[in-house]
Amino acid sequence: MMEQLFYIFCTTLPSHIIPFVLFWNFHWRSRTAALALVTVNVLCKMAAAAYFLANGLYFRNLELAFAVVGFLIYCCFLRLSPFKMLFTYLLIVDYLLIIRGIVSVLAVQVFGIPIQGWGSSFVCILLYGVTLPLLLRFFRQVANLVYRTDAPRLWRIIWLVPAFVTILALIFTDSYLESSVDSGFFLFCRIGLLVCVFAIYYVLLQSLEGLEQQAALRQRLVFESRLLEMQMEDEEKRSQLLMETVEQTRQMRHDLRHHLTAIQAMAGDENSKLRDYIATLIRDIPAAVQDYCENPTVNAVVSHYAARCRQEGIAFTARLTVPAQNENLDDRALCVVFANLLENGVEACGRMAGDEKFIRLNSSLEYGVLTVTMDNSFDGQARQEDGKFLSSKRAGAPGVGLSSIRAVAKAHQGDARFEAKGTTFLSSVYCRL
């Protein structure tokens, strides 16, 4: 009876060691209490096994009950989804069943020794020692991937697949009975279990990796959407401020011209120098803001950057066709496109040491598609990563302005393309109005 108890102990201990190794760094309600209860469960199992063996009773069914109790202990003390735990726990159970099946086959068909004897126990220990260190890496990969994947509906159902295969293997094969182990059907079932386990978990792991990538992509899209929304709100406020500034400047210019004309009339002919000086002031008052297009928001943005170009000595030309009202493309989106293009262009020209600085901005409207192109000079230093231009302000980070432009374009059934040729940076954007 002692050799049978030792065999049961050898096949029981790994089923508790492996979960603790895999889940040791996870969140526990009480790791100490879990260890204590697992120890009590193992001792109770050994006591029950001794009683059943002493009285000639069949112990297999009760052993399965103790395995269920062990799983419930982990469920109570690990702060993890029970379905995720069950999915991983079944992988451990299948591994133990496969090892036990191999030991039983070797004991009966190769060594000719009892299944639950001392020799079988040592063969079992040897197989665990050879296979477990290698498979622990696979088990850890499964556990980490499972618990990173947040798909509650999937986990409520997916554990049924390995559970069904495991139950069939337990029903049709019994590694405690020599008559069962000696048959070809036992070997077929255990090999089938091995193949099914690896096939199932390989397919499921591939699916989980796909789900994880989709979740990461979804989070990235949500982040980019929120970032774009915030930028559009900022651009709307800026465009409104620009429009108010343009209007105030136009009014002040108009009033200043009239004031100077009145002062010139009051000066009379007695002070010719004063009249000439006032005439010079009137002549030097800048002309009214140029209307670049029908859209007031775009016109205000372009006028602002055109003034900056004049101040910084950048040759600026613009030929624009942008309707005043657009059904699907609002002024906030237009502001994001034009403001970011021009902001990047002015900054790129500002980093140049030479005098040949230019910005050429154009837009056209055909068949409901607005196309915006801009060529600007720059110092020729353009860094790219994965096809995206990196920001000159934040080392290693993609340009936020260009990303925002592309996001607006794609959100309106369009796209954006950016290309550096020598010392000229080419930008093209198209959106459906």
CATH number for the domain spanning 403: value is 3.30.565.10
Does 21 score more than 70 pLDDT?
yes
- Residue 265 in domain: no
Give the separation between CA 304 and CA 298, rounded to whole angstroms: 10
Q: Which residue has the higher pLDDT, 9 or 141?
A: 9
Does 189 score more than 90 pLDDT?
no
Nearest CA-CA partner of 11 in 45, 55, 56, 47? 45
Q: pLDDT digit string (tens) for 275-329?
A: 677 777 666 555 555 678 888 888 888 888 888 898 888 999 999 999 888 777 8
Does 232 score more than 60 pLDDT?
yes
Q: pLDDT digit string (tens) for 72-115?
A: 888 888 887 788 788 778 777 777 777 777 777 777 777 777 77
The pLDDT of 20-33, averaged and rounded, is: 83
Whether residues 32 and 161 share a domain: the answer is yes
Give the separation between CA 130 and CA 126, rounded to whole angstroms: 6
Whether residue 49 contacts residue 64, with contact meaning beta carbons closer than 8 Å, is answered with no
- Residue 305 in domain: yes
Position 13 scores a pLDDT of 82
- Residue 256 in domain: no
- Residue 285 in domain: no
- Residue 321 in domain: yes
Q: What is the mean pLDDT of the chain?
A: 77
Position 377 scores a pLDDT of 92
Q: pLDDT digit string (tens) for 212-224?
A: 666 667 777 676 6
Whether residues 421 and 322 share a domain: the answer is yes
Whether residues 306 and 217 share a domain: the answer is no
Give the separation between CA 75 and CA 71, rounded to whole angstroms: 6
- Residue 187 in domain: yes
The pLDDT of 189-204, averaged and rounded, is: 67
Position 186 scores a pLDDT of 60
In percent, the amount of the chain with pLDDT more than 70 equals 69
Domain with 125 in it? 2-224
Q: Which residue has the higher pLDDT, 404 or 159?
A: 404
Whether residues 306 and 403 share a domain: the answer is yes
- Taking the complete model, does pTM exceed 0.85, yes or no? no
Give the separation between CA 402 and CA 417, rounded to whole angstroms: 9
- Residue 330 in domain: yes
Whether residues 92 and 201 share a domain: the answer is yes
Whether residues 202 and 304 share a domain: the answer is no
Alpha-carbon dihedral sign for residues 398, 402, 403, 406: negative
Confidence of residue 394 (pLDDT cuts 50, 70, 90): low
Q: pLDDT digit string (tens) for 407-429?
A: 888 888 899 999 988 889 999 99
Whether residues 309 and 207 share a domain: the answer is no
Whether residues 160 and 309 share a domain: the answer is no
Position 269 scores a pLDDT of 65
Position 370 scores a pLDDT of 92
Position 157 scores a pLDDT of 78
Whether residues 216 and 297 share a domain: the answer is no
Residue 248 corresponds to which amino acid?
A: Q
Please report which residue ranges of 313-368 form alpha helices under DSSP H: 331-350
Whether residue 365 contacts residue 326, with contact meaning beta carbons closer than 8 Å, is answered with no
Indicate the residue among 179, 197, 224 that finishes a domain: 224
Does 371 score more than 90 pLDDT?
yes
Whether residues 62 and 137 share a domain: the answer is yes
User: Which helix (H) or strand (E) element contains residue 316?
Assistant: strand 315-319
Confidence of residue 259 (pLDDT cuts 50, 70, 90): low
∠ CA 308-309-313, nearest 5°, is 120
Indicate the residue among 224, 239, 272 that finishes a domain: 224
Position 345 scores a pLDDT of 92
Nearest CA-CA partner of 131 in 159, 100, 110? 100
Q: Which residues contact 224 (CB under 8 A, 6 or more apart)?
A: 403, 407
Does 166 score more than 60 pLDDT?
yes
Q: Which residues of 258-268 are buried (b: 16+ CB within 10 A; e: fewer)?
A: eebeeebeebe
Number of folded domains that form the chain: 2
Please report which residue ranges of 268-324 form alpha helices under DSSP H: 272-284, 296-312
Indicate the residue among 200, 224, 248 that finishes a domain: 224
The pLDDT of 149-174, averaged and rounded, is: 71
Whether residues 27 and 173 share a domain: the answer is yes
- Residue 232 in domain: no
Does 178 score more than 50 pLDDT?
no
Most confident of 39-48, 57-66, 246-255: 39-48
Whether residues 205 and 313 share a domain: the answer is no
Q: Which residue has the higher pLDDT, 180 or 266?
A: 266
